[in-house]
Amino acid sequence: EFQEKTIIEPCKATLFAGVGQSAVYTTLTRPKLKHEEDVIIKVVKTTICGTDLNILGGNVLTCKPGTGIGHEGIGIILEKVSKVIKHQLGDRVICQCITTCGKCKICEKKFYGHCDNGGWMLGNEIDGMQGEYVRIPYANNSCYKYPKHLYNTPVEDALVMCSDMLPTGLEVGLLDGNMKEGMKIAIIGLGPVGMATMICAEIYKPKEIYFVDLNPYRLDAAESLGKLPRFANTNFIKILNTNDDAAEQIMKHTDADGVDLAVECIGIPRGWEICQDIAKVGGHIAILGVHGKPGVFNLERMWYKNFTITAGMVHGYTTQMLIDRIVEGNLPAHKLLSHSMKLSQIEEAYKLFKTGVNCLKIL
């Protein structure tokens, strides 16, 4: 399958070559229109997501070797079919990571991540955004336009993160977590989606945000964001987890009460364990990390807490709202971009992103 793609009408793309292997920047066949609401996009800007690392590590069983990866980005519509009525040739659009038909019973409930005809296809079940061209199915519902005066601006750079990272932090981390004003929350893991959860939390004016990581650079970046005027009424506490004592530190800060909402953003059992340790009575644990291994559910000491747990896919029902906030200057997403590189450098970018050394999000 990997070899079969390197044939006619070549274009560059980034492929999943197999579990445990690095992402491969190579050549495959330029995509063609297949279905009645398809568009072909010339990719302008894309990025790497932590979930791409999970694909390389074998945690996403639906992605097969030979698939072009990447599910975040923006591009120009080069080709379309007649039933694509919301977009025109030449439009620049944000490509949502979730393919949404808008017609099935699941979509009627806004559970777009489980769309009968789509869901998370891009860079998973079909070739994705980390290449020169991409086919986007159901473009009427899976692409978003933005004003022309933002083309080739820093605001456009920030809009790339509306494909997945920002909606995931807001929907799976905060809205599913029943976020309310004045809460104490903890964010376990400050990769890009953890940082996205943090900046989206400002919408709900939390009382305290505890942010936990092993990476001093990311902790300092989060602390810097916490000094923005929009966070004036929120107390930020950074927790360096070098000694694996994050839960103890948070419980000490909260006088053994715990937090209202713990958001797990790293996708490993230890993150889930920390959340169990710090959730208060009546609290909530929201899982948005991609877990490839089982975790221990400590029911013997959790059953009496009357807590709630949620986990699942992003749906993208907040995407337009997030786009609007960025365009209006009310969401500082551009501060999450630490590097800008060429597509031809993407193998190097993967290595940098995986280390997390002085790195947040790579455009």
Tokens of 106: 């699941």
Q: Minimal CA–CA distance to 68: which of 20, 119, 152, 1?
A: 1
Q: What is the CB-side half-sphere exposure of residue 184 using CA atoms within 13 A? A: 18
Distant-in-sequence, close-in-space partners of 319: CB < 8 Å, separation ≥ 6: 94, 96, 144, 162, 167
Strands 184-188, 259-264: parallel, antiparallel or unpaired by DSSP?
parallel
- The reported pLDDT for the residue numbered 243 is 94
Tokens of 14: 């980034």
pTM of the model: 0.94
- The reported pLDDT for the residue numbered 10 is 85
- The reported pLDDT for the residue numbered 72 is 98
318 φ/ψ angles, rounded to the nearest 5 degrees: -100, 5
Q: Minimal CA–CA distance to 69: which of 107, 133, 122, 12?
A: 122
126-153 residue pLDDT tens:
999 999 999 999 999 999 999 999 999 9
3-state secondary structure the chain: CCCCCCCCCEEEEEECCCCCCCCEEEEEECCCCCCCCCEEEEEEEECCCHHHHHHHCCCCCCCCCCCECCCCEEEEEEEECCCCCCCCCCCEEEECCCECCCCCHHHHCCCHHHCCCCECCECCCECCCCECEEEECCHHHHEEECCHHHCCCHHHHHHHHHCCHHHHHHHHHHHCCCCCCCCEEEEECCCHHHHHHHHHHHHHCCCEEEEEECCHHHHHHHHHHCCCHHHCCCEEEEEECCCCCHHHHHHHHCCCCCEEEEEECCCCHHHHHHHHHHEEEEEEEEECCCCCCCCCCCHHHHHHHCCEEEECCCCCCCHHHHHHHHHCCCCCHHHHEEECCCHHHHHHHHHHHHHCCCCCEEC
Residues of the chain with pLDDT under 70: 1-8
- The reported pLDDT for the residue numbered 2 is 29
- The reported pLDDT for the residue numbered 8 is 55
How far apart are the C-alpha atoms of 108 and 104, rounded to whole Å?
6
- The reported pLDDT for the residue numbered 107 is 96
- The reported pLDDT for the residue numbered 363 is 97
- The reported pLDDT for the residue numbered 5 is 41
